[in-house]
Structure 1
Amino acid sequence: MPAVENVLVVGAGVAGTGVAILLAQAGVAVDLVEKTPGPTTAGSGITLQGNALRVLRQVGVWDGVRAEGYAFDSLGLRAPDPAGTLLAEIPDARTGGEDLPATVGMPRAELARILIERTAAAGVKIRFGETVTGLEQDRDGVEVTFADGSVSAYDLVIGADGIRSTVRRLVGVDLTVTPVGMGIWRAFGPRPDSVVRTDLYYGGPSFIAGYCPTGENSLYAYIVERAQDRSALSPEERLSTMKHLAQAYHGPWDDIRENLTDASTINYTRFESHVLPAPWNRGRAVLIGDAAHSCPPTLAQGAAMALEDAAVLADLLVTHERVDDVLWDAFTARRFERARTVVEASNQLAGWLLNHERGDVPGLMRTVSDLVTPAA
């Protein structure tokens, strides 16, 4: 018998929908609230490594992800020279197992749609435009007050509500999110035939220029620069700035740059990072995904770590009979060091770039791949 009968999940990203689906599949009654008015329709693309795909298959959405995304099994390294010379094509580790691709790129909005549809089909009750404003708990459960004034009781509250987590604040966790010192330009657009995998260009006037195919007819492209305040730029100025930065990169970037015409597809964000010290629970409220840890996307493991959190937490709640220290100690043992190592490695790569150090990038990637290949 599961340790919980009814659960509230706060946040409808990959961590929140993932854990909601897995618990509902096991017969747990799950409510999910999301403060935005509906499923994500904006954003560019997302890179899903094999260990993320492993969990997506577990929650029953692999067929949809495979159909909507673009799978590939290698990583290209290119020079920031006039030809965009391909320096190496490296076979990528199949961290989800040999029966899954190494990587799938897909539009963020499509992944959100697929997960929300699966969440609803699993019987989860979803409320958009809603969030929590108060949590009162004792040893047996949590009384939750919502923004609409309603109150409900749950055996457990799962905060999967992102880097600015409301649940984290409500349970009294004082945590500092640290700027990494980098900002990223992202664009979503058509995929030219020259783009068949992720290629990374290190160096030139920016730290990284890269791209990832997200479907037969789409990709997202990105350029990482030193962080600065870009908030005053108009959409047209954002487009002009990204095209200007892209002028330094060639090969497939020449095709991509030609297709950068829609200012609405350009966005800019600054990297931040944190790891919540263990334990990630406060009584019967627990934090997962970006609410517990975040890192720059230099190793493309953010979604995978969030999905692994969801899978491990659901497994423990279903296989244990009580919500107690034994359960939380097991959660910490399976998640904390693994997530912290990925965050530290992602920040190490960012640090090398910021300091213009020649670090062992392939070695770092291999270490992380070896870590995340066994299931969490």
Structure 2
Amino acid sequence: MSTARTVLVIGGGAAGNAVTVLLRRAGVTVDLIEAKDDWNATAGSGITLQGNALRVLRELGVWDRVRESGFGFGSVGITAPDGTVLHIARDLRTGGDDLPATVGMRRPQLQRILMDAVRAGGASVRLGTTAEIVDQDADGVSVRFSDGSEGRYDLVVAADGLSSATRAAVGITDKPEPTGMAIWRVAAPRPAGVDRTDLAYGGPAYIAGYCPTSDTTLYAYVVEAHRDRASIPRETYAEEMRRLASAYGGHWPEITAHITDPAQVNYTWFDQLLVEGSWHRGRVVLVGDAAHCCPPTLAQGAAMSLEDALVLAQLLTASDTWDDALFQAYYERRVARVRPVVEASVQIGRWQLDGVRDADLPGLMGRTMAMLRELP
């Protein structure tokens, strides 16, 4: 790429931060805006990063910090509700043999690492700021910011998440749909002996699991049929999660004892989304959750978003011509990989909701994860 370019990235989550770092490295002028004043620096409890996500984080130059901040492991345990270990499966190293199969870490810590990388790359960052698409033509996009200022860019990258206002503003009508499940999450101290993810199926929840996030911490979660959020008072969140978690044995009693602060408990529905046809309108391009999302049954949400950023940045920096053909090539390359992940993630949940006992869960997971070992 020999022509000077300017890009506006809307949204400072994983996808937005990653594409900003990669474009700045190639010499592109990037402005990143984020609606939240704190840049999402405190949001969330924990995150599971599989090898294909780690591969992108290494490309971003942050792998050493991720490794030091998180907890790497290579297996998953399947337990009965009482904690009895029924099976231990080795995780496939989807990022290659030189990376762990999985790293668990505190989500705010990952965000801070990515924030530092954005700052180090020299991007302009404006927090507490949103943008409206004023108009666009074959050469660029004009935007108006929430502070009244205006700008003109060669490209706008919409990384503003599941409820993307930018997606709707450019006429893409796809919206996320609930799958029927919901998840309670909380961060807690890590009991001695927890050195991998364990998943219990059955009991009062569809899934009860935990993932170590450091030498001293983990995040725990229970999955149930979704309920009307308005019917669950925020001050009862700890009580609700503790009620479900208290039915499980093994390490769960020690974890459950720490579920006391409702402000630390997060409750969200599982959603699914896959924008079809293309992920762009003119010179506005979607990445991450703005283009697709899936239940965390395969722990691939962040990985798919990070891969989007990598592929888009590769295509943009390799070409002097930013046009419909390039943006469509981005979509076609990504949708072939994202679609099976979304479909498999939704199918796993559907089998549980429908009570299917003879589902080929290992086969579906094995085929999907084997596909993800290939480069995006």
- Shorter-chain TM-score: what band? over 0.9
Q: How big is the shift at 1:222? A: 0.3
* Corresponding residue for residue 25 of structure 2: 25
1:299 aligns with 2:298: yes
Which one is further off, 122-131 or 241-250?
Answer: 241-250
Q: Map 1:1-376; keep pairs closer than 5 Å.
A: 1=1, 5-40=5-40, 41-80=42-81, 82=82, 84-358=83-357, 359-376=359-376
The SS at the match of 1:96 is coil
Q: What does the per-residue CA deviation read over 1:212-270, in whole Å, with 9 as the maximum and x for residues that have no partner? A: 11111111100000000243444542111111111221111122112223332111111
Distance 1:29 1:246 in 2: 48
Distance 2:134 2:60 in 1: 28
- Tell me if the contact between 2:279 and 2:328 (Cα under 8 Å) persists in the aligned partners: no
The SS at the match of 1:104 is strand
Large movers: runs of 4+ above 3 Å: 230-236
- Tell me if the contact between 1:187 and 1:220 (Cα under 8 Å) persists in the aligned partners: yes
The SS at the match of 1:367 is helix
Query: TM-score scaled to structure 2, two decimals?
Result: 0.97
Distance 1:235 1:164 in 2: 22
Q: How big is the shift at 1:173? A: 1.0
The SS at the match of 1:299 is coil
The SS at the match of 1:298 is coil
What amino acid sits opposite 2:282 in the alignment? G
- Tell me if the contact between 2:180 and 2:269 (Cα under 8 Å) persists in the aligned partners: yes
The SS at the match of 1:207 is strand
Percent of residue pairs identical: 52
- Tell me if the contact between 1:131 and 1:146 (Cα under 8 Å) persists in the aligned partners: yes
Which one is further off, 18-27 or 36-45?
Answer: 36-45
Q: How big is the shift at 1:4? A: 6.2
Query: TM-score scaled to structure 1, two decimals?
Result: 0.97
User: What is the root-mean-square deviation of aligned Cα atoms in Å?
Assistant: 1.2
How many pairs align?
A: 374
Consecutive unaligned residues of structure 2, counting only runs of 5 or more, are none
Q: What does the per-residue CA deviation read over 1:308-338, in whole Å, with 9 as the maximum and x for residues that have no partner? A: 0000000000011201233123212310121
Q: How big is the shift at 1:63? A: 0.9
- Tell me if the contact between 1:135 and 1:170 (Cα under 8 Å) persists in the aligned partners: no
- Tell me if the contact between 1:3 and 1:320 (Cα under 8 Å) persists in the aligned partners: no
Which one is further off, 146-155 or 327-336?
Answer: 327-336
What amino acid sits opposite 2:63 in the alignment? W
